[in-house]
Amino acid sequence: MDETPYLFRGINILKTDSSVLISSSRYLNNPALREWMATELLRRNGPDVPTPAGAYRLSFIIKEIQDFPEIDRLFEHERRRFPELDRFLSERFVSTYTKEDLAKLPPGSVGGIYYKQLLDKNYQINIVPVYEAKGHYDYWLLRSGQVHDWEHIITHGGFDSLGEVTTGFARLENIYKFFSPELAGELTAMQFLLSLRFLTRMGLHYPTVWHDMWAAADRGRRAGRASDCYVLRRYEDVLSLTPAAARQVLGVREVDDTADTTRPSEIWDGRIRG
């Protein structure tokens, strides 16, 4: 009788001549990503390493792993069946808005709300400085960084930690709704890992925000599924509108604009006790 525990059956230990860790996963093969995952998924939160710093580090790691020419090929294939993507890639629109431009917009508008955040939190108008994109995926990354903060306003993901969860899961769902699974997997690799770290650290260290965290994820997923392909839209066209009016233009639906994630974010960040 086979004494091997049931769940251990079928394991086949492979041999290799490699002198370093190696697997069939390009992600597992990357030492920097292994260290990032261990740190960012398991650590507690603290002011010594703010949460956004993890995103900045991951962006360099993922770019090192991904095959940009192959992703560009996937974009070329996808644009043949997807007119909105074809237009997005053809125009390669890059925002040139400045703080001074935003200051002229109404206080309750998308641009006005964003301008207040820039002042109150000392944000930069571009997460990554504008550069000349070398290909389709490079442009996608540039543009995604430009619209990230506006997506917070459009999806009603607050400018706080749990707000990142809402905005992140909305983008994940929206991309998987409109793009082929193969391309969507490449486009969301970084966003998936960034969103996942909120959930693991919540479960391990901040159980009092369990319900708040999952509610934030659910709100984002619901809006992303219900909406048109807003990740390709030109937000600059709606900056003078209120968030509600902008959502109508962009085709963003089922947004819960009553949610307030301020207190659970403060607990998750470790600023107050839950």
Residue 208 has pLDDT above 60, yes or no: yes
* Residue 164 belongs to some domain of the structure: yes
DSSP 217-245: HHHHHHHHHHS--GGGS-GGGGTTS-HHH
When the pLDDT of each residue in the chain is averaged and rounded to a whole number, the result is 94
Count Cβ atoms below 10 Å from residue 79 Cβ, excluding itself: 17
Q: Look up the domain containing 115 and give its range.
A: 66-268
Residue 10 has pLDDT above 80, yes or no: no
Closest to 147 (Cα-Cα) out of 174, 133, 119, 167: 167
* Residue 39 belongs to some domain of the structure: no
* Residue 20 belongs to some domain of the structure: no
CA distance 110 to 244: 9
Residues 6+ positions from 215 with CB-CB distance below 8 Å: 259
* Residue 29 belongs to some domain of the structure: no
The structure tokens listed for 35 are 């260290």
* Residue 94 belongs to some domain of the structure: yes
* Residue 14 belongs to some domain of the structure: no
Residue found under tokens 């996608």? 140
Q: What is the mean pLDDT of residues 114-122?
A: 91
CB distance 163 to 195 below 8 Å: no
Q: What is the mean pLDDT of residues 108-129?
A: 88
How many structural domains are present in the chain? Answer: 1
CB distance 175 to 188 below 8 Å: yes
* Residue 99 belongs to some domain of the structure: yes
* Residue 19 belongs to some domain of the structure: no
Q: What is the mean pLDDT of residues 226-240?
A: 97
Question: Which pLDDT tens digit goes with each residue over 246-257?
Answer: 999 999 999 999
Q: How confident is the model at residue 127 (pLDDT cuts 50, 70, 90)?
A: low
**pTM higher than 0.75, yes or no?**
yes
| % of the chain with per-residue pLDDT over 70 | 98
Residue 16 has pLDDT above 90, yes or no: no
Question: Which pLDDT tens digit goes with each residue over 21-72?
Answer: 888 999 999 999 999 999 999 999 998 988 889 999 999 999 999 999 999 9
Q: Which residue has the higher pLDDT, 160 or 21?
A: 160
